[in-house]
Chain A
Amino acid sequence: MILLLPFLAILVIIVVALFGAAVPGLDFLFGVVFPYAAITVFLLGIIYRVLKWARSPVPFHIPTVTGQQKSLSWIKSSKIDSPHSSPGVVGRMAMEILLFRSLFRNTKMEMKSGPKLVYGSSKYLWLGAIVFHYSMLVIVLRHLRLFMQPIPQFVLALQNVDGFFQVGLPGIYVTDGLIVAALLFLFLRRLYDSRLRYISLASDYFPLLLILSIAVTGILMRYFLRVDIVSVKELAIGLFTFHPFIPRDVGVLFYAHLFLVCVLLAYFPFSKLMHMPGIFLSPTRNLANNSRMKRHVNPWNHPVRVHTYEEYEDEFRDRMKAAGLPLDKE
């Protein structure tokens, strides 16, 4: 069921999009209304959730570090893995965001015959994740050729690099193959490992399948069942200039692709995909490990009523004096 639900959801989305493309009159809904709605939900949803996160206090100083803390001058500290200053934190965050350093440090526990418990480095998750994310980035940036007029130079340059091998016509983009391979790996990885399958939810499979179906419809449109790309750009430019325009016969497949993207955008703020802004707000990564240098006070510490010794002495002075006890004040 956990696996069936995402599959069914994807199927329904595609069927709805194909229906929308087939019924005359609905193309305005699928080509203009849904994209604008999805963009709005994506943008406002992310802003809303980040502002909500920003309201949650981080009372405890909780960086999780993997290096020697800065202490005495003659003990070598780890400036990136256990940063004590802002530049160190920036470096650590950059390595986390750009290189997925936490995943690179991933280890796996395995029971070998013996029985023997073995811990080993496991880089496959890191590899799949970084291949997917960078392919996704390149593909999104490549799409700017359809969103922007005139096309920025860097987009054309990126296309040239991505299409470096010049295989076939239209030329194959390396990232198209890489993203499908990476997504399939990330998907099968959850199915293959029984422990991972046990902790996987429908909300883990759904984004993978959704992005995979976006990639597949895109690949189909470029290499196999080509659509009129000039009309596609016309529609996109219409959206991005607030002059919505539905060109004639763009192709059914295009509407499936577009609707899947709309679903992804609208789903984004409510899903695990919020790790995109979330990584910037991870207290275990973005705090400096400086608790030996700076005092961190819980912002909501309750004002505790204390009874100081002075007050105590004032209260019992007479009886203390009678008992012959020493007093601070006579």
Chain B
Amino acid sequence: MLQYSFNSYTGTLKDGMMYDTGKIVTGLVVFAALFTSPFWYNLSNGKALKRPDIVLPTAPNEQQCCADSEYMRCDHMVMLDEWRFAVVRDGQTYYTSSTGRKFEMRFTKTCLGCHPNTSQFCDQCHNYIGVNLYCWDCHNKPNTGSEGSRVAQILNPEPENQDGASRSPVFLHRTIRRDRIK
């Protein structure tokens, strides 16, 4: 009647009978589908998979960046963070590059001076690798329509003092508060 031969070493039945086949196969199919999801997700979309093209500054505007491209490619956010710290905490205004040139530590003026179109430069890579910037949560984004750029002009007026003491709004704010304390 019952003709199983039990292999006591492996703990399995030699005739290879499977138990709960429905549940096991369902579980394995779900697992395999989830694990391979990047494959079928990408293959079903099948577009915009190449490296994003960023628009680099061209002839009239072209000049040396404040650091070499190798550094900027990987570490630009560190420089921006250091600049923010230097301006907001230490009240410094200028950054001296390794080539000896002086750069004003202002993103909207210095960085966007050469790379004015953020959607063709910053956003290209940021969107590609999913970087969520929160710069524009507080600051006005330049080149985002007339109202945006007008507000940006008010916050970052173009003419600057002769001594180079052009100040970010945050710095001004701090100065005002200091005066008040005095």
Contact = CB atoms under 8 A, between A and B. Distances in A.
Interface of A: 42-43, 46-47, 50-52, 54-58, 144-152, 155-156, 159-160, 163, 166, 168-170, 226-231, 233-234, 237, 240-243, 247, 277, 280, 299-303
7 contacts: A43-B32, A47-B32, A56-B11, A145-B130, A160-B132, A242-B43, A277-B31
A55 B130 contact: no
B9 interface: no
Contact of B130 (A42, A151, A227): A151
A230 B128 CA distance: 8
A243 B17 CA distance: 40
Contacts of B39: 240-242
B182 interface: no
Nearest to A280: B27
B122 interface: no
Contacts of A55: 12-13, 16-19
Given A169-B80, A240-B38, A303 B1 contact: yes
Nearest to A227: B74
Nearest to A226: B74
A52 B13 CA distance: 10
B interface, how many residues as a size bin?
A: 35 or more
B51 A247 contact: yes
B35 interface: yes
B177 interface: no
Contacts of B78: 169, 226
A148 B38 contact: yes
A99 to B, nearest CB: 20
A285 B42 CA distance: 38
B80 A54 contact: no
B129 interface: yes
Nearest to B77: A169
Interface in B111-156: 125, 128-132, 134
Contacts of A247: 51
Name the residue in B4, B125, B128 with the highest tally of chain A Cβ atoms < 10 Å from its Cβ.
B128
Contact of B18 (A51, A159, A280): A51
Interface of B: 1-2, 4, 6, 11-13, 16-21, 24, 27-28, 31-32, 35-36, 38-39, 41-43, 45-46, 48-52, 73-75, 77-78, 80-81, 125, 128-132, 134
B24 A51 contact: yes
Name the residue in B16, B52, B130, B131 with the highest tally of chain A Cβ atoms < 10 Å from its Cβ.
B130
Contact of A43 (B18, B35, B50): B35
B45 A150 contact: yes
A230 B51 contact: yes
Given A43-B36, A47-B32, A166-B134, A230 B52 contact: yes
B24 A241 contact: no
Contact of B12 (A52, A148, A150, A170): A52
Nearest to A163: B132
Contacts of B16: 55
Contacts of A280: 27
Given A47-B32, A151-B130, A302-B2, A241 B49 contact: yes
Nearest to A152: B41
Given A169-B78, A169-B81, A241-B43, A149 B48 contact: yes
Contacts of B21: 54
A229 B129 contact: yes
A300 B36 contact: no
Given A240-B42, A299-B4, 15 more contacts: A42-B35, A43-B32, A50-B28, A55-B18, A57-B13, A57-B19, A160-B132, A169-B81, A230-B51, A230-B129, A241-B43, A241-B49, A300-B4, A300-B6, A303-B1
Contacts of B38: 144, 147-148, 240
Contacts of B32: 43, 47
A163 B130 CA distance: 13
Nearest to B134: A166
A233 B19 contact: no
